């Protein structure tokens, strides 16, 4: 379960740059596992900041962000690494999400070493299975990020996230750059996997239709806070 308690975030104003700029204030939000939520909002409202808070990439100025009961901020070393596996991320620009100087295969195989996912001899099989699941050919692995199409790399980005078997997946405008038919196919794939694994999904988007179609509940991010979008709530789960 992801829990935000009284979370506030402001960016520093610089040495001579005046007062700090608040982005979020006093946000309380609970995201249980196994459910699919949407987050809507105009650009600049703090959607990406929320994603970074949840992913532990940014520390809140006030309050706490906890994953499975653990505060991001208190974690170090192996515990932190294990915690990282719990929440994975598919960003908006997948072509920028891979190191341009590493082959895609190298980028994927690094994960095994990083988390010691499975014994060496089973790694290739596991990687193959992950690619199969998102419908990609293994030949892709010898290429570099700029040598593949947007749809392919977005799938690969998804495969990378799923390989770590997270409890949560955050999609940050993950399909916004793709054309509609591919967009729908990827969303369907995500929902299938989420259902199979009982994984929670947060879909950050500015596409209200997509949110409606895919999510059990939709929130908006406005006025430095998170609000339930009325009329679309199916059921607010208990904290």
Question: Can you give the binding site for other proteins, defined by CB under 8 A?
Answer: 16, 52, 55, 57, 80-81, 84-85, 87-89, 91, 93, 96-102, 110-111, 114-115, 160, 164
| Sign of the Cα pseudo-torsion (40, 133, 98, 186, in order) | negative
Least spacing, CB of residue 179 vs other proteins, in Å? 21
Integer angstrom CA distances of residue 101 from 90, 98, 115, 143, 174: 20, 9, 22, 11, 23
Concatenating the DSSP letter of every residue in 26-72 gives: EEEEEE-TT-EEEEE--TTSSHHHHHHHHTTSS--SEEEEEETTEEG
Least spacing, CB of residue 11 vs other proteins, in Å? 13
Closer Cβ to other proteins, 84 or 167, answer by number: 84
Least spacing, CB of residue 181 vs other proteins, in Å? 25
Closer Cβ to other proteins, 82 or 228, answer by number: 82
Q: Give kind and range of the element (H or E) at residue 221.
A: strand 217-222
* Structure token digits, residue 205: 């988007």
Closer Cβ to other proteins, 201 or 217, answer by number: 201
Closer Cβ to other proteins, 11 or 26, answer by number: 11
Least spacing, CB of residue 205 vs other proteins, in Å? 17
| Sign of the Cα pseudo-torsion (5, 8, 9, 14, in order) | negative
- For 40-67, letters b (16+ CB in 10 Å) and e give bbeeebbbbbbbbbbbbebebbebbbbb
Least spacing, CB of residue 155 vs other proteins, in Å? 15
For the chain, how long is the longest CA-to-CA vector?
Answer: 57
Least spacing, CB of residue 146 vs other proteins, in Å? 12
Closer Cβ to other proteins, 29 or 112, answer by number: 112
* Structure token digits, residue 126: 């596991």
Closer Cβ to other proteins, 16 or 69, answer by number: 16
């Amino acid at each position: 379960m992801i829990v935000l308690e009284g979370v506030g975030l402001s960016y520093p104003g610089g040495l001579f740059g005046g007062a700090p700029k608040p982005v979020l204030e006093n946000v309380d939000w609970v995201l249980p596992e196994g459910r699919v939520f949407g987050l809507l909002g105009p650009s600049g409202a703090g959607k990406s900041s929320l994603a970074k808070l949840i992913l532990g990439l940014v520390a809140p100025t006030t309050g706490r962000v906890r994953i499975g009961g653990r505060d991001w901020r208190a974690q170090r070393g192996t515990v932190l690494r294990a915690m990282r596996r719990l929440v994975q991320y598919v960003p908006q620009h997948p072509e920028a999400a891979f190191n341009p100087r590493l082959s895609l295969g190298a980028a994927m195989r690094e994960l095994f070493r990083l988390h010691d996912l499975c014994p060496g001899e089973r790694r290739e099989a596991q990687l193959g299975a992950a690619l199969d699941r998102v419908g990609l050919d293994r030949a892709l692995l010898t290429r570099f990020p700029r040598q593949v199409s947007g749809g392919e790399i977005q799938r690969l980005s998804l495969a990378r996230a799923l390989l770590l078997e997270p409890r949560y997946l955050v999609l940050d405008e993950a399909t916004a750059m793709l054309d509609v038919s591919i967009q729908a196919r990827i969303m369907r794939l995500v929902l299938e996997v989420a259902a199979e694994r009982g994984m929670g999904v947060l879909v950050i988007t500015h596409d209200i239709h997509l949110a409606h179609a895919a999510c059990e509940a939709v929130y908006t991010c406005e006025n430095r806070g998170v609000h339930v979008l009325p009329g679309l709530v199916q059921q607010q789960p208990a904290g």
